């Protein structure tokens, strides 16, 4: 689907189809598991083919599971603001996760991943949901937010919180590119194993 986004003629052809015919195309392409494919097909038809990677990363943030009530509320508001792109109730967490993971994989081979990441953060910011970047394993702001959370836990001497925060840092794409994070030892009992740890 991402490759089709680089072919404007495909989007133009989809745009000429009646909605019910376009739906059948989406079903054929999706096979047994529709996931996000119907939404992607409509985005192609609307001329957003070049944005499929960007929007996959955005969708990941909008539908990621969180136990933070403030973030969950921000997700609800941002999804409403971006209904013109994602539609209403057309995606669920599973579909958005599949789209986001595919976007992350495609990002590794992209010739300008920084531009994609910046664009995704801009979409979230324009929707008033920049803070949702923390839920993404790819967006740069999310990495910085996770590092900040780790720092706050260390400053408060909250070892359990520091362990959890360090795990979240390690899960991020940027951590795999920063040896200072990836080479920290795994926490053992009584040690948060992070910079500034006094144990």
For residue 64, what pLDDT is reported? 93
Q: How many angstroms separate the CA atoms of 163 and 43, rounded?
A: 40
The half-sphere exposure of 171 on its side-chain side, counting CA atoms within 13 A, is 13
Per-residue pLDDT, averaged over 74-96, amounts to: 95
For residue 32, what pLDDT is reported? 66
CA-closest candidate to residue 153, choices 168, 164, 139, 167: 164
For residue 101, what pLDDT is reported? 93
**Interval 105-141: pLDDT, tens:** 999 889 999 999 999 999 999 999 999 999 998 999 9
pLDDT level of residue 181 (50, 70, 90 thresholds): very low
> Of residues 194 and 124, which shows the higher confidence score?
124
For residue 188, what pLDDT is reported? 46
Worst-scoring range by mean pLDDT, 30-34, 88-92, 98-102, 134-138?
A: 30-34
The residue ranges of every structural domain in the chain are 4-133, 139-199
169: left (phi over 0), alpha (psi -120 to 50) or beta: alpha
CA-closest candidate to residue 98, choices 198, 2, 5, 182: 2
Q: How many angstroms separate the CA atoms of 164 and 198, rounded?
A: 17
**Interval 46-65: pLDDT, tens:** 999 999 999 999 999 999 99
For residue 47, what pLDDT is reported? 94
pLDDT level of residue 31 (50, 70, 90 thresholds): confident
Q: How many angstroms separate the CA atoms of 196 and 54, rounded?
A: 36
Per-residue pLDDT, averaged over 150-171, amounts to: 87
Q: How many angstroms separate the CA atoms of 56 and 40, rounded?
A: 9
Share of the chain above pLDDT 70, in %: 87
For residue 179, what pLDDT is reported? 52
> Of residues 179 and 45, which shows the higher confidence score?
45
| C-alpha dihedral sign at 7, 95, 71, 141 | negative
């Amino acid at each position: 689907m991402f490759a089709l986004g680089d072919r404007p003629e495909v989007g133009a052809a989809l745009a000429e189809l009646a909605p019910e015919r376009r739906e059948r195309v989406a079903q054929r392409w999706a096979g047994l598991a529709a996931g996000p494919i119907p939404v992607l097909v409509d985005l192609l038809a609307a001329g957003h083919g070049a944005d499929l990677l960007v929007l996959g990363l955005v969708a990941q943030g909008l539908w990621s599971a969180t136990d933070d009530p403030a973030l969950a509320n921000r997700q609800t508001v941002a999804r409403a603001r971006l209904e013109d792109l994602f539609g209403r109730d057309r995606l669920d967490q599973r579909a958005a996760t599949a789209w986001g993971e595919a976007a992350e994989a495609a990002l590794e081979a992209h010739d300008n991943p920084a531009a994609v990441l910046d664009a995704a953060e801009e979409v979230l910011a324009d929707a008033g949901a920049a803070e949702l970047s923390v839920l993404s394993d790819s967006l740069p702001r999310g990495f910085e937010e996770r590092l900040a959370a780790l720092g706050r836990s260390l400053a408060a001497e909250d070892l359990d919180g520091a362990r959890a925060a360090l795990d979240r840092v390690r899960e991020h794409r940027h951590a795999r590119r920063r040896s200072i994070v990836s080479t920290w030892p795994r926490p053992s009992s009584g040690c948060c194993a992070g910079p500034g740890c006094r144990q």
